[in-house]
Structure 1
């Protein structure tokens, strides 16, 4: 009888344990990477002095410094994100259109979103020109858009 009780107790103890589930793949939803270049020397990175960046309709500022590249988030539940980039007192508005695609990574990591059919538009106030390097955003290892100013 003691063996049966001991077996039942062990059964309850081991059935209460859960398998450890850790996300080790780092499946982040990638950000849009913008890299700024000199308009006269198109291979030379050029920092934007006093760069302010904020999403249209939002009052929070993402960046307030001098940088030659930034990574900004895209709205994963919409098909378009609009940002304002201010250089001094001049504001340039950029619109990024895309098709978000959810990708299941694992039970512990959940989902991540990639962005397909990416189209970048600018009203080109202080931005002279831009060059998109890809139409798919599935990582943030390199610049997706080169901006010349």
Structure 2
């Protein structure tokens, strides 16, 4: 009888130690910045950029290289460990710097996904415009939509 109770208790202990599988279905959890390039003369028309290289100011290695590729939109991450991210956009060897400042908040998503970073009060600036002729908007409240562009750059 004691053996049966001991085996039953051991079996219950093993079953209660198991966790259900939990998968994060929200990928990516932390939003990234979407930039779309437009023609400066006709600001409603998307314009592709040839030979674009994007470097983070914090890292000299290119994060994205669009050599021999033409693109009119890009998706780039922001640095969750700083309140500013600076990128250098190089087109045919001409570099344009683009700065993004923001506030950071952590938001709990779920047990499987953990926390995500919410970027708010974003401000954009370009201290030296070489091949950029402008951009809109200069500020935005937050990045929460991954279906539309957050910033439009004119060139």
Between the aligned partners of 2:78 and 2:62, the Cα distance in structure 1 is: 15
Match of 2:91 in 1: 87
Asked if 1 retains the 8 angstrom alpha-carbon contact of 2:22 and 2:112, the reply is yes
**In the alignment, what sits opposite 2:72?**
68
Instruction: Tell me by how many angstroms 1:17 deviates.
Output: 1.7
**Residue 24 of structure 1: CA displacement?**
2.7
Q: How many residues align?
A: 149
Partner of 1:103: 107
Larger strand proportion of the pair: 2
List aligned pairs for 1:1-149, cutoff 5 A. Answer: 1=1, 2-26=3-27, 28-65=29-66, 66-122=70-126, 123-132=128-137, 134-149=140-155
Following the alignment from structure 1 to structure 2, what is the Cα–Cα distance between the partners of residues 19 and 64?
A: 41
Cα offsets for 1:29-82 (capped at 9, x unmatched)? 111111000011111110111111100141211222221010111011211000
The verdict on how the C-alpha distance between 1:135 and 1:5 changes in structure 2, with shifts beyond 3 A counting, is closer
- TM superposition score normalised by structure 2: 0.88
Q: TM-score normalised to the size of structure 1?
A: 0.91
Runs of 5+ in structure 2 lacking a partner?
A: none
Distance 1:98 1:57 in 2: 16
Residue ranges of structure 1 left out of the alignment (5+ in a row): none
Work out whether residues 30 and 140 of structure 1, in 8 Å CA contact, stay in contact via their aligned partners in 2.
yes
SS in 2 for 1:84: strand
